[in-house]
Amino acid sequence: MKKNILCIGAGYVGGPTMAVMADRCPECRIRVADLNAARIRAWQSGEPPIYEPGLKEIVARTLNRNLFFTADADAAIEEAEIIFVSVNTPTKTFGEGAGRAADLQYWEKTARQIKAHARTPKIVVEKSTVPVRTAEAMEYILNAGGGVRFEVLSNPEFLAEGTAIEDLLHPDRVLIGGRDTPEGRAAVAELVELYAHWVPRERILTAGVWSSELSKLAANAFLAQRISSINALSAICETTGADVAEVARAVGMDSRIGPRFLKAGVGFGGSCFKKDLLNLVYLCESNGLPEAAHYWRQVVEMNEYQRRRFVRGMLAHMFNTVVDKRIAVFGFAFKADTGDTRESPAIHICRQLAEERAKLVVHDPKALENARIDLADLGDAVRYEPDPYRAAEGAHAIALLTDWALYRELDYRRIYEAMVKPACIFDGRNALDHGALFEIGFNVYAIGKPPRAH
């Protein structure tokens, strides 16, 4: 084996990223370590602990060939020349910066662990999303007290869940930030060579470490801002009779704006957007830029407003009460093609509906187990149903919260027959054929569109 690589953190980023790297770099021996022994056992079994289209096949090709999973990072550190760190960096929930700043305790513990077990120089690659200048702090910790020399690079990950494998195989760009010193440039060149196994060189960008760290926060902030912008417009559409899909189409055809990420809905979820926006807000605040902080905070607030507005709309169209009414929730994952429910809008919407004393029946093809955990404290107010037809039986309304393709293919005539009348559909993702549903007999309420009620 030409190179030994270790990745610490076998989650949504570490697992898929290293599986693709092992597939494309057969001469590298890649180990992925995690504290979570159950997660490691799942990876080792060939049944990945996360659902991601195409992942299982890649793992099947590489597992125990040049891809290995271990619960013992300590033992793997010394052998590796390059160590990727993709541990979680959630929003801090305590102390200074609580609710905004990134909690870097896992990152720092990992740095200290690397320092404790390394006997030869290493390149340490920051794959987790971190605040600007984290690499500097980590390099300081790693190199404190002399001894082995560490070079820290920033290499943020841009994959989106549900399309992770495709994103990793054909990235828009790979970004590598390093220091402008002979050692820094050599480390960057080594990482460039690794990615050049499968990524065209013109798509591998190099930059300063701080620019690289900030670019990751900036890209997520821009994407989230587009969603909040179209969602803000969806509210105006509903009051003026315009159709948000028509508006998005017209706006998106301007080549300066582009058509993607202009889909109005119940708001963005996922483990990244809110966390990274708040991280940016905190960065602005702590650098004495309150106006810039306020600007980005508003993107998060618009997202929360959109969820509340959706539930308020449901109440308004259901005679201002949902007490004891059964509501079928179609989709719980934060987006289609993943079982991940972190920060899913469905969590907040279900909680709000439960507060209104509705009886919820949740369906999701991949996220029911996570839904059960997320809503555990709601007890009997929620039922979890693996069959969408049974979920809708006896319901007054369906709330579609995740745009899984399967919801477009259901037999809505059959569903309508089994529901209480008037039967309502609230399409929180504008995913369904509203004309056809109205014809069947449903009252149809979609985001940013005129209501269709009988």
Hey, which residues are catalytic here?
272
Smallest distance, Å, CB 160 to ligand NAD?
Answer: 6
Smallest distance, Å, CB 329 to ligand NAD?
Answer: 23
- Cβ proximity to ligand UDX: between 77 and 221 the closer is 221
Torsion, CA 114, CA 118, CA 122, CA 125, rounded to 10: -10
**DSSP output for 119-142:** -S-EEEEE-S---TTHHHHHHHHH
Smallest distance, Å, CB 16 to ligand UDX?
Answer: 11
User: Of ligand NAD, ligand UDX, none, which one sits near residue 223, judging by CB under 5 to 8 A according to partner kind?
Assistant: ligand UDX
Which residues sit at the interface with ligand UDX, rule CB under 6 A?
157-161, 220, 223, 227, 261-263, 265, 268-270, 272-273, 334-335
User: Of ligand NAD, ligand UDX, none, which one sits near residue 109, judging by CB under 5 to 8 A according to partner kind?
Assistant: ligand NAD
User: Of ligand UDX, ligand NAD, none, which one sits near residue 134, judging by CB under 5 to 8 A according to partner kind?
Assistant: none
Smallest distance, Å, CB 372 to ligand UDX?
Answer: 20
* Contacts of 398 by beta carbon, 8 Å cutoff, 6+ apart: 327, 328, 329, 330, 392, 415, 419, 423, 424, 425, 426
Smallest distance, Å, CB 17 to ligand UDX?
Answer: 11
- Cβ proximity to ligand NAD: between 74 and 246 the closer is 74
Q: Is 319 exposed, middle or buried (0-12, 13-18, 19+ CB in 10 A)?
A: exposed
User: Of ligand NAD, ligand UDX, none, which one sits near residue 69, judging by CB under 5 to 8 A according to partner kind?
Assistant: none
Smallest distance, Å, CB 279 to ligand NAD?
Answer: 9
**DSSP output for 251-295:** HHTSTTT-STT---SS---SSSHHHHHHHHHHHHHHTT-HHHHHH
Tokens representing 353 are 């509906």
**DSSP output for 146-170:** SSS-EEEEE------TTSHHHHHHS
Tokens representing 168 are 């990793």
The structure tokens 């399309």 sit at: 163
User: Of ligand UDX, ligand NAD, none, which one sits near residue 334, judging by CB under 5 to 8 A according to partner kind?
Assistant: ligand UDX
Smallest distance, Å, CB 364 to ligand UDX?
Answer: 14
User: Of ligand NAD, ligand UDX, none, which one sits near residue 269, judging by CB under 5 to 8 A according to partner kind?
Assistant: ligand UDX
- Cβ proximity to ligand NAD: between 8 and 398 the closer is 8
- Cβ proximity to ligand UDX: between 171 and 178 the closer is 171
Minimal CB distance to ligand UDX: which residue? 270
User: Of ligand UDX, ligand NAD, none, which one sits near residue 361, judging by CB under 5 to 8 A according to partner kind?
Assistant: none
The total of other beta-carbon atoms located within 10 Å of residue 222's CB is 11
376: alpha, beta or left? (left if phi > 0; alpha if psi -120 to 50): alpha
- Please give the Cα distance from 73 to 70 (Å, whole number): 7
**Are 101 and 279 contacting, i.e. CB atoms less than 8 angstroms apart?**
yes
Smallest distance, Å, CB 449 to ligand UDX?
Answer: 15
C-alpha 167: how far from its chain's center?
A: 13
User: Of ligand UDX, ligand NAD, none, which one sits near residue 366, judging by CB under 5 to 8 A according to partner kind?
Assistant: none
Torsion, CA 358, CA 364, CA 368, CA 370, rounded to 10: -90
- Cβ proximity to ligand UDX: between 245 and 318 the closer is 245
**Are 117 and 78 contacting, i.e. CB atoms less than 8 angstroms apart?**
yes
- Cβ proximity to ligand UDX: between 33 and 262 the closer is 262
- Residue 328, strand partner residues: 361, 398
Give the H/E segment covering residue 400. Answer: strand 397-400
- Cβ proximity to ligand NAD: between 124 and 327 the closer is 124
Minimal CB distance to ligand NAD: which residue? 11
Buried b (16+ CB within 10 A) or exposed e, 167-182: bbeebeebbbbbbeee
**Are 415 and 398 contacting, i.e. CB atoms less than 8 angstroms apart?**
yes
- Cβ proximity to ligand UDX: between 223 and 302 the closer is 223
Which residues sit at the interface with ligand NAD, rule CB under 6 A?
8-14, 33-36, 39, 73, 86-89, 106, 109-110, 113, 128-129, 157, 159, 161, 271-272
**Are 366 and 297 contacting, i.e. CB atoms less than 8 angstroms apart?**
no
- Please give the Cα distance from 233 to 246 (Å, whole number): 11
- Please give the Cα distance from 428 to 446 (Å, whole number): 6
